[in-house]
Structure 1
């Protein structure tokens, strides 16, 4: 049975559990809590300066997102990512993200409200010119998250962002092994142009090709590296 993805209200103040969740997720995604790392609930509460109750709630959410496993009396363990996991993740993204691009292009005024995507494309182009791979990766993530959030389907957005976050460590691992992302930068720009023009089918197909190509490239790099887990 598929688990429902919780979609929080759009306008509410973050709770202590929200803060714990955000901070722990950042530690995991940025490898400060690397794959296989184990921590007790009390240790994490002390590290974050919070009580154990919001930390416990945050850990449950992180487990639902596929980032950790919780073991009674042993705390949590950060789950590793293998090449096979990345292949599955990109198969999901290749199915979902093109739909988001299509939905965005089918709006009555498709060129309106695309400032976030335009800013992300410009930032990618500037980072490419400066050969700044980390800045490019941040702009790339901003584009994908922005597209998901703007598409108008909150459930689709929630699924895309959850799966995207699971791939974060692998994308950082391969960042310096890939050629400078000139091709990806141009592909993002073409997708944005198709969305702004209201060309829904073209936007979907361009995005599908981009996601399939980039996924195959990333999985191939991981397999050739010989690394078992990320």
Structure 2
């Protein structure tokens, strides 16, 4: 089998399994053997095995020798650490983009995501808002020139995704958060990197405090 075909199958298995985990269709605590997962995906065991190794490196599963794989729970302590790192790294990425004096065209995907957030709030659709918010943050990181930082942040996004979706119905409608995005974007367009750094740090700090406050109430729950 050509290496390109093998790599494509591994990528396919990885993406499919990651979406099953992030969507909670494979919830925390879910456990299955490698052959069972291969059967579920309709694939051979080799690409599944390599995909599971990648997912373990992402912090989403634990491979248990001779017993298969287990989807890791969302732990309060893990989310606290993840948001500490995001609060340090993401404002730096945003400030770096602002310092590059981006054009409106460059930032257009972020403006579109922000408008989608506002529309979702008007419709009372929290899941649509979460999808637009996720797109905003991933597109923003994609504009940053530091590829190592980008890779680290993207991995943390995936690790935090289930916690964000779990807490979403328990949060107030994110009107303030949407306004934060608008104001940060305008400062980025103006090239005000230091203002962007401070605003984004405040935005991430508030989001982390809200999420962690909710998770703290479920600290003993495996979810």
> Structure 2-normalised TM-score?
0.94
Deviation at 1:192, TM superposition (A): 0.9
Q: 4+ runs of 1 displaced by more than 6 Å? A: none
Q: What pairs with 1:170-185 in structure 2 (closer than 5 Å)?
A: 170-185=163-178
For 1:196 and 1:14, the matched residues in 2 are separated by 39
Match for residue 18 of structure 1? 11
Match for residue 48 of structure 1? 41
Residues 14 and 57 (structure 1), Cα distance of their counterparts in 2 relative to 1, 3 Å cut:
closer
Verify the 8 A CA contact 1:38 1:78 in the aligned structure 2: yes
For 2:103 and 2:6, the matched residues in 1 are separated by 31
Q: What pairs with 1:160-179 in structure 2 (closer than 5 Å)?
A: 160-179=153-172
Match for residue 130 of structure 2? 137
Q: Kindly indicate whether residue 74 of structure 2 is the aligned counterpart of residue 81 of structure 1.
A: yes
Residues 80 and 117 (structure 1), Cα distance of their counterparts in 2 relative to 1, 3 Å cut:
same
For 2:7 and 2:205, the matched residues in 1 are separated by 36
Deviation at 1:151, TM superposition (A): 1.1
Question: By percentage of residues, which structure has more helix?
Answer: 2
**Number of residue pairs matched by the alignment:** 219
Verify the 8 A CA contact 1:111 1:197 in the aligned structure 2: no
For 2:196 and 2:7, the matched residues in 1 are separated by 35
For 1:112 and 1:99, the matched residues in 2 are separated by 21
Residues 227 and 121 (structure 1), Cα distance of their counterparts in 2 relative to 1, 3 Å cut:
farther
Match for residue 29 of structure 2? 36
For 2:65 and 2:189, the matched residues in 1 are separated by 50
Q: Where in structure 1 are there 5+ consecutive unaligned residues?
A: 1-11
Residues 13 and 183 (structure 1), Cα distance of their counterparts in 2 relative to 1, 3 Å cut:
farther
